[in-house]
Structure 1
Amino acid sequence: MEDPAKEIATVAGLVTAAINPEIQKASVLKYYAPDISFRHPLCAVKSGPNSRDAILSILQWYRVLSPVLSVHVTSVTYDEEKHAAFLDITQTFHIRWSPFKPAPARLLVHLTLRPEPSPTDPSKTVYLITEHEDFYHPDDFAALVIPPFVPLVRIGLQAATFACKANARVFGALGYWTTNDGEGGKGVHLQPEGEPLPPIGENEGIELQERPPRGDKKHD
């Protein structure tokens, strides 16, 4: 890719939903780095020499399972400084032997890129994908595998939310993680116009740690 922000959505479609296996394989070889890593809820590939071959096999098996696959990229966010892309995707995946009607599943795809000289013109820079990660919500993952389970998963999520609310109140009444308005400087009583929050303690700060570029990491 010479312009990831414009090309990444097309690349995502080619490697997952190409119209034939030749196009899919050519796309993986062109856009994925030979040492790419891959993470998915059901499988993972560690970065290493020729790890791309394993990912190609996973993508090919994906199409064997679902001969008809649609991929719609809703939005793309590209961080040019960190060479990272985030794709909001909705896909319809239907297992070949499944009697159930397919349901759309939403996922977030995180791609890390690495700039390299173009193999055809070294004066130009191209970007290869060095890390591919797929993230699903539980109900979307159910839609991907067993669509009829989606309502059950959503009921389970609602039940977990209710349990959190109930436990927070019960344990708060027992003195765990309890907020008290204005008690000895510990509590906070916000006025309508806005009262500054108390200072953050030494062990309560949130530190943003930048991930090193994938290319700077040594492989085992």
Structure 2
Amino acid sequence: MPWPSLLTAVVTAAVTTAATPWVLRRLPRPPEAPDYPALATPRLLVAVGALTLVVTGLVTCLTPVAHWLAWASLAVVNVWAVVIDARTTWLPAALSRIGWGVAAVGVATAALVRGELGPVGAAALGAVTVGGFFHAVWAWTRQVGYGDVRLAATIGAVAALEGGVTLTAAAVLAGTCAGAVWGLAHRAGRHTGPFPYGPGLWSGPFLALVWWAVSGAL
């Protein structure tokens, strides 16, 4: 890993971890939501730091600098969301919306750097297509939560910005498979009730990014 990528990943992970208790204290909390501040345990902070370090390292090694801000919507903001989901099966809507905003600014930045509107169109199409697909799954089956729908829209935007239809399809497929594996592990552990689908879905674009890099190198 080149040292600028390593430094960026380490600093991002450290800042994200340090900000976690502050974020949890300030998240809007519907009456039925869990007590977010109580989640700020050492175990959760380690999880946030480790995940942010790994995925930020991947992004900074494998994507153009102009795309890093868009990826931060997944590699920073939605790290908090999926770690909360893993603990509570609850994806906070506020974090999803912040993720949308970061992705939008990141896409606009990429468009400015490239001097064309192609990134905006690709990201918008990805967000509508993937978000719309998961909205349909939610509406017809209620087998996913609406937080997963919001997350899917961000995934679609970022994956489409990076690699168009190919990377977007790979991200959705990888995330769906990871979510299925997570669900099987949940059942195997004799847990009942809903399981957190968000972490598996969230991992999809990063798995697809690794596949994209490896297949391009072969």
Give the TM-score taking structure 1 as reference length. 0.25
Q: Decide which structure has the larger Cα Rg and report it.
A: 1
Q: Which is helix-richer, 1 or 2?
A: 2
The structure that is strand-richer by fraction is 1
